[in-house]
Amino acid sequence: MSEVVVIGAGLAGSQAALAAADAGVQVRLYEMRPVKMTPAHRGHGASELVCSNSLGGEGETNAKGMLQAELRAARVAVMDAADGNRIPAGNALAVERDGFSRAITALLEAHPNITIERSELTRVPDEGVVVIASGPLTSDALAADILERFAGGERLSFYDAAAPVIEFDSIDLEVAFRAGRYGQEADYLNCPFDRTQYAAFYQRLEEARSHTPHDWEKLEFFEGCMPIEEIARRGVDTPRFGPMKPKGLPDPRTGREAFAVAQLRQEDLEGRLWSLVGFQTGLKWGDQKEVVRLIPGLEQAEIARYGVMHRNTYLCAPKLLESSLQFKAHPRLFTAGVLAGTEGYLESAATGWLAGVNAARVALNLAPVTPPATTMLGGLVRYLATAESKNFQPMNTNWALVPDLEPDDLPEEWKNRKKLGRRERRPLLFARGQRDFLSWLEGLRAGTPLR
Ligand SMILES: Cc1cc2nc3c(=O)[nH]c(=O)nc-3n(C[C@H](O)[C@H](O)[C@H](O)COP(=O)(O)OP(=O)(O)OC[C@H]3O[C@@H](n4cnc5c(N)ncnc54)[C@H](O)[C@@H]3O)c2cc1C
């Protein structure tokens, strides 16, 4: 019988193993904990949530909610484990982390097609179908092997110092204005603070708990990529003389310079994603959201990608991967999770599931598949395969991953409307994605073994 090897029983590897095993192939799942721990994991269980306990906001106006709905439709185990261990958290799907991890571990241990090996794999097996899901903290030996043999010479370990990325739709353009410093090209969106707003922002930034540094995270910061909270610690005015400098940026509506300015720079070709310039941060994600929403014009900001400050191991997906998560140059190899260039628990689980389905398909001599572009998972894996490869950074789920609505997607009564607000557009994007995902799943289930 065909066998698939999965490396790593984290968020991605667990779902990959279950998906492949459910499709009827034998799975050998390697997990190095507890024999060897990572710097961030604390326990021995599968799918440990290393930081926050949230799998993201729910509902049809939330991009993570759309991905959750797809995972539910595909009966991906992560959603059952989340539902069985949820704790109240407003509109977010938060879980009791130990129960969540225990539930996934129990499924893996009980599955008749899965054998768990508690050992570090230091080399990708030379033969057979393999899903590499060893995560952002892949052990050094394995990372070196991947680098040498499968990463096309691209460096794959980085100290990530990323700033939050905001969805354009959620920026208040009555407040933020377009301008370039000293009359240069108006390529930036500028969020002006008055003295009171700045004081409130600064106070919250000061209070915000910085990610507790692990030993391996005690970095020497270069001046150029100093986290915003570190800059703020140097004094109340330091950000105003650094990344939040208002000089040369008069507000065209008043002609006056603000007390401070936060600038946003376009991130993608279509201008749907904007990153906060000089705001690289390691703040916890909940705090980060609160701090960002104190910036004038960003009160309703939807964060497409949180800022991070930690060691991150990931591949340059656009150079190396197909949208099926298969390596272009090594069709027997798949990857998922952070290593594949996604960011986030849910994204890791979702790509793990797809990699597991496709690894099983290849083991059964079937062609790999990719969900439609209008679905959140389809949009995410297409992004990985086609993003700009220069300075590629892992990506969270967000609305810019799916194509905008076509006239045919609109209800009759809205067809003549010039512009729809995001509260109107998102449920339509969600409904279109669900419809396309369900019909894709139906086709997949008809042709192959799939739970
Ligand atoms: C410090 C930190 C904080 C984060 N906080 C959040 C957050 O709050 N919210 C969020 O959504 N995302 C967060 N992320 C990002 C990301 O969602 C998680 O890291 C997620 O766990 C990634 O899933 P994964 O499956 O790719 O990797 P992991 O879940 O880390 O799984 C990889 C597994 O592979 C094992 N492994 C590694 N090397 C080997 C080897 N050679 N042989 C065998 N096993 C191996 C590891 O022990 C681990 O169990 C954070 C990441 C980091 C590093």
Q: Are residues 259 and 350 in the same domain?
A: no
CA 47 to centroid of ligand 1, rounded, Å: 8
pLDDT in tens, the chain (451 residues): 679 999 999 999 999 999 999 999 999 999 999 999 987 788 999 999 987 788 999 999 999 999 999 999 999 999 999 999 998 877 889 898 899 999 999 999 999 999 999 999 999 999 999 999 999 999 999 999 999 999 977 767 666 667 899 999 999 999 999 999 998 888 889 999 999 999 999 999 999 865 545 443 445 454 556 789 988 989 999 999 999 999 999 998 889 999 999 999 887 778 898 989 889 888 888 999 999 999 999 999 999 988 877 778 999 999 999 999 999 999 999 999 999 999 999 999 999 999 999 999 999 999 999 999 999 999 999 999 999 988 788 899 999 999 999 888 888 888 777 778 888 899 999 999 999 999 999 999 886 655 5
Residue that terminates a domain, selected from 276, 291, 310: 310
Judged by phi (left if over 0) then psi (alpha if -120 to 50, else beta), residue 438 lies in alpha
Q: Are residues 249 and 359 in the same domain?
A: no
Q: What is the CATH number of the domain that holds 396?
A: 3.50.50.60
Number of folded domains in the chain?
Answer: 2
Q: Are residues 248 and 147 in the same domain?
A: no
The response to whether residue 342 sits with its C-beta less than 6 Å from ligand 1 reads no
CA 135 to centroid of ligand 1, rounded, Å: 5
Residue that terminates a domain, selected from 310, 327, 348: 310
> 58 lies in which domain range?
3-156+314-447
Residue that terminates a domain, selected from 310, 341, 359: 310
- CA-nearest residue, atom 48 of ligand 1: 10
The whole-number pLDDT of residue 4 equals 98
Best of 32, 41, 67, 100 for a ligand 1 pocket test (most atoms within 8 Å of beta carbon): 32
The response to whether residue 6 sits with its C-beta less than 6 Å from ligand 1 reads no
Q: Are residues 26 and 113 in the same domain?
A: yes
CA 183 to centroid of ligand 1, rounded, Å: 44
The whole-number pLDDT of residue 159 equals 63
Beta strands in 3-140 (DSSP E): 3-7, 26-30, 54-57, 86-87, 92-95, 114-117, 129-132
The whole-number pLDDT of residue 220 equals 47
- CA-nearest residue, atom 16 of ligand 1: 344
pTM over 0.85: no
Phi, psi dihedral angles at 250 (to 5 degrees): -65, 140
| The ligand 1 atom nearest the CA atom of 141 | 41
Write out the two tokens for 258. Answer: 């603000």
Q: Are residues 113 and 125 in the same domain?
A: yes
Q: Are residues 45 and 104 in the same domain?
A: yes
CA 149 to centroid of ligand 1, rounded, Å: 22
The whole-number pLDDT of residue 160 equals 62
CA 437 to centroid of ligand 1, rounded, Å: 27
CA 136 to centroid of ligand 1, rounded, Å: 5
| The ligand 1 atom nearest the CA atom of 120 | 42
Task: Report d(CA 121, CA 249) in Å as an integer.
Answer: 54
Question: Dihedral, CA atoms, 198, 200, 203, 205, nearest 10 degrees?
Answer: -70
Q: Which residue has the tokens 């998560």?
A: 325
Q: What residues pair up with 291 in beta bridges, in sequence order?
A: none
Q: Are residues 295 and 327 in the same domain?
A: no
Q: What is the CATH number of the domain that holds 261?
A: 2.40.30
Q: Are residues 333 and 244 in the same domain?
A: no
Q: Are residues 303 and 318 in the same domain?
A: no
The response to whether residue 133 sits with its C-beta less than 6 Å from ligand 1 reads yes
Q: Are residues 118 and 170 in the same domain?
A: no
Give me Rg for the CA atoms of the chain.
22
Beta strand 3-7 with 129-132 is parallel
Q: Are residues 305 and 399 in the same domain?
A: no
Q: Are residues 48 and 116 in the same domain?
A: yes
The whole-number pLDDT of residue 279 equals 93
